[in-house]
């Protein structure tokens, strides 16, 4: 069974949890199954522990829609670098993280291969694995019932030493930011130049074609002037890289352009 996780940081929380992807077999089958877990960073309250059909956009988005309707919108969501949370596009943006941005939520990614950044969530997953997957249930429905039982126990029954023996349900408070399905417009400061990404994934700059990302098709990007011939490129608050007019490519912080990034595997 694979466990794909994301941690929600609400407006009143003062800490973040991270996300990761694990894989374990679902007995007696050799196939694996993704599991999305969502946890409040401050209270450790486990908002969701849902089995999915795959690390795909639609089932993951449906879980978050349910959570946003029930608990409100977080300020930030931090996740691992796997799909559907991230991609090889500039800014590591994915369709899911672009949706979060257009709802007013800031996506954050942990550094690749850095599980130490996710200590609290790691400990929760250690308990989750021990209680529900060793051995795993013999059907997906039975496995989901185990997850549901674990979530109730974790939130409402089990005291937590790190919370002074209190339970997450006693500390958790929903966000006061209500979920409105209507997507917000992406805006930029007045001194930015704005270009709308074409359906082909690029913009025109000084009559030259500049590749950006198909993920941002039809959406505006903002360009902030730096030195002569160099521009910061943003999508909302996310820095995509630097546009260099010497080669008309957008380079990320590692010096790679969007075209080169598509040749690299997601790590």
Domain with CATH 3.30.420.10 in the chain: 2-171
Structure confidence at residue 5 (pLDDT): 57
The CATH number of the structural domain formed by 2-171 is: 3.30.420.10
Structure confidence at residue 56 (pLDDT): 80
Residue corresponding to tokens 């549901």: 148
Asked if residues 179 and 73 have their Cβ atoms less than 8 Å apart, the reply is: yes
Structure confidence at residue 257 (pLDDT): 59
Structure confidence at residue 180 (pLDDT): 93
Structure confidence at residue 8 (pLDDT): 56
Structure confidence at residue 233 (pLDDT): 98
- Output the pTM of the full model: 0.86
**Residues facing residue 196 across a β-bridge:** 220
pLDDT tens for each residue of the chain, 267 residues long: 444 556 554 433 433 433 444 555 555 544 567 888 899 888 999 999 988 877 788 989 999 999 999 999 999 998 888 888 999 999 999 999 999 999 999 998 887 777 677 777 778 888 998 999 888 888 888 989 999 999 999 999 999 988 999 999 999 988 888 999 999 999 999 999 999 999 999 999 999 999 999 999 999 999 999 988 999 999 999 999 999 999 999 998 766 655 455 434 333
Structure confidence at residue 80 (pLDDT): 82
């Amino acid at each position: 069974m694979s466990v794909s996780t994301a941690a929600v940081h609400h407006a009143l929380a003062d800490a973040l949890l991270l996300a990761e992807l694990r894989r374990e077999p679902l007995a007696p089958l050799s196939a694996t199954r993704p599991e999305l877990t969502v946890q409040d960073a401050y209270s450790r309250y486990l908002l969701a522990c849902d089995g999915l059909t795959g690390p795909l956009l639609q089932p993951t988005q449906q879980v978050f829609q349910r959570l946003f309707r029930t608990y409100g919108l977080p300020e930030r969501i931090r996740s691992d670098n796997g799909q559907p949370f991230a991609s090889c596009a500039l800014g590591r943006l994915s369709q899911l993280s672009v949706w979060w941005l257009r709802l007013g939520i800031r996506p954050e990614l942990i550094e690749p291969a850095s599980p130490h950044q996710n200590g609290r969530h790691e400990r929760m997953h250690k308990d989750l694995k021990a209680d529900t997957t060793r051995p795993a249930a013999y059907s997906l429905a039975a496995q989901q019932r185990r997850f549901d039982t674990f979530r109730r126990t974790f939130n409402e029954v089990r005291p937590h030493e790190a919370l002074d023996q209190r339970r997450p349900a006693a500390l958790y408070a929903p966000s006061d930011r209500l979920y409105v399905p209507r997507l917000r417009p992406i805006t930029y400061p007045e001194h930015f130049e704005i270009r709308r990404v074409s359906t082909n994934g690029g913009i025109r700059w000084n009559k030259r074609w500049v590749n950006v990302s198909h993920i941002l098709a039809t959406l505006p990007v903002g360009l902030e002037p730096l030195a002569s011939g160099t521009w910061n490129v943003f999508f909302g608050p996310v820095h995509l890289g630097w546009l260099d007019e010497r080669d008309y490519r957008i380079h990320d912080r590692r010096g790679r352009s969007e075209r080169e990034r598509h040749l690299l595997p997601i790590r």
